[in-house]
Amino acid sequence: MQPSKPEYYDVFEDFHGVLMYKPFTKYWDEVETFTASLDDLVIASYPKSGTTWASEIVDMIYKEGDVEKCKQDAIYNRIPYLECREENIFHGVKQLKEMKSPRIVKTHLPAQLLPESFWEKNCKIIYVCRNAKDVAVSYYYFFLMITAYPHPGSFPEFVEKFMQGQVPYGSWYDHVNSYWEKRKNSQMLFMFYEDMKEDIRKEVIKVIQFLGRKPSEELIDKIIKHTSFKEMKNNPCTNYTTVPDEMMDQRVTPFMRKGITGDWKNHFTVAMNEKFDMHYMQQMKTSTMKFRTEI
């Protein structure tokens, strides 16, 4: 039998203007005072933007294309999720403190909530982003699967919440812009999911160069093969099947769901799309960030 879902605002709270999952803010001082190392690499994103894909690419680069090394542990142990805290499986801060340098840090925190130390030390940051419509679709299915998350309602109801920033990590619009505004005075690489779908070779080369390494053909080929959607979907170290069903119920929907651009067209009605576009224009009117909703 499926465990019952909690009420929405029993598990989420407004935290400095950003909706957050309550257990993640309970020991906030540990996150806020986290000490970064000069060689930490941060992979930041709004949830469901292609974080896991980009993370596996980066880990392959760090491990010089050694697939076996990447298959030694689940992605959430190789690349700890900074603010995540639940049971004994996830404790991002503890995992990172126990880890040898150079560390790769995953976070979904918006720029203003990222621990100050990462900015002070001018750590390299890869920000992964994806168009808002596909993120909303992917996030809806994710909600259904995370047992501790409340039921998101119907898809149109969820999209309303998404537009109002009433989902964990708050407004997508604010999130993407929070990092975009920092791009000139920090070491940042922006990766767009749509670009990765369109030309993964080009994007992998960009990441290798950003990390100050040499892009050999052999390394690039290995990365592309190992991080294809099919490979990652079948790999227990990337597909989250090692997380118990009691936390992430992949019988409801798999973590590696479709892996495409444009699935929003199968979910948005014409009326929803028009409303979303109007709201989008309003929210992004001062931003120079441009997203593609199809490729």
Ligand X SMILES: Nc1ncnc2c1ncn2[C@@H]1O[C@H](COP(=O)(O)O)[C@@H](OP(=O)(O)O)[C@H]1O
Ligand Y SMILES: C[C@]12CC[C@@H]3c4ccc(OS(=O)(=O)O)cc4CC[C@H]3[C@@H]1CCC2=O
With CB under 6 A as the contact rule, the residue among 50, 80, 115, 168 that binds ligand X is 50
Specify the residue, 135 or 220, whose C-beta has the smaller distance to ligand Y.
135
Specify the residue, 117 or 190, whose C-beta has the smaller distance to ligand X.
190
With CB under 6 A as the contact rule, the residue among 256, 264, 280, 291 that binds ligand X is 256
- Smallest distance, Å, CB 282 to ligand Y? 26
Residue 279 annotated in active site: no
Measured at the CA of 111, the angle between CA 21 and CA 121, to 5 degrees, comes to: 120
Site membership for ligand Y, residue 284 (CB under 6 A): no
CA distance 231 to 224: 10
Number of C-beta neighbours around residue 202 at 10 A? 10
- List the structure tokens of 110: 């918006």
CA distance 79 to 73: 10
Q: 34-53 mask for ligand Y (x: CB under 6 A)?
A: -------------xx--xx-
Number of C-beta neighbours around residue 226 at 10 A? 20
- List the structure tokens of 21: 């999952």
CA distance 54 to 238: 11
CA distance 209 to 215: 7
Site membership for ligand X, residue 52 (CB under 6 A): yes
Site membership for ligand Y, residue 84 (CB under 6 A): yes
With the C-alpha atoms ordered 4, 85, 246, 152, is the resulting torsion angle positive or negative?
A: positive
CA distance 225 to 60: 11
- Smallest distance, Å, CB 49 to ligand X? 5
Specify the residue, 23 or 47, whose C-beta has the smaller distance to ligand X.
47
Which one of the listed residues 108, 175, 226, 267 is annotated catalytic?
108
Residue ranges in contact with ligand Y by CB under 6 A: 21, 47-48, 51-52, 84, 86, 90, 146, 148, 247-248
Residue ranges in contact with ligand X by CB under 6 A: 45, 47-53, 134, 138, 141, 227-229, 232, 256-259, 263
The residues assigned a catalytic role are 108
